Amino acid sequence: MESSFFFVVQQPCSSSISQSLHRMKADDPAANLSIIFFNANDVISLDGIEFIKCEVLGQSFMLHQIRKMMGLAVAIMRNCAPESLIQTAFSKDVNITVPMAPEVGLYLDECFFTSCNNTKFEDNHEEVSMEAYKEEAETFKLKHIYIGSAEEK
């Protein structure tokens, strides 16, 4: 099942999925988004419940868009929707309704300030990053977020 889920969520992404899931016109500039990186290779097991850690790095997401993308993947994995629906969702002339994945366990892990960090300012500034706090952040997630998600289940 894990390998099937990984296959479903790692299908090629397109900017048109935004308009398909949000009833926007394909030529609307707000429909453009970029998925730079997607990873779903980590399985976390807590109290006998398996969670798949999905990482999405992108720009210009719409409200609930990641939840809708995950909801579609889960619907396909539970045989509630055909796998071909992924390609249909990328069609510019089709609007589909998909379930939203629950918000439990969904959180913004880190913001990246690539443009800011790459800009040369007259006065030097430190890089804006969470790297120095990575260990503390992982401990916090394990104690408070992952456990809370398992308890909600």
Q: Which of 36-45, 114-123, 128-137 has the highest mean pLDDT?
A: 128-137
- What would the pLDDT profile of 142-151 be if each residue is shown by its tens digit? 888 877 655 6
DSSP collapsed to 3 states, the chain: CHHHHHHHHCCCCCCHHHHHHHCCCCCCHHHCCEEEEEEEEEEEEECCEEEEEEEEEEECCCCCHHHHHHHHHHHHHCCCCCCCHHHHHCCCCCCCCCCCCCCCCCCCCCCCCHHHHHCCCCCCCCCCCCHHHHHHHHHHHHHHHHHHHHHHC
Domains, the chain, in order of start with CATH, read 1-101 (3.30.70.660), 102-153 (no CATH)
Where is pLDDT greater, at 10 or 53? 53
Where is pLDDT greater, at 68 or 63? 68
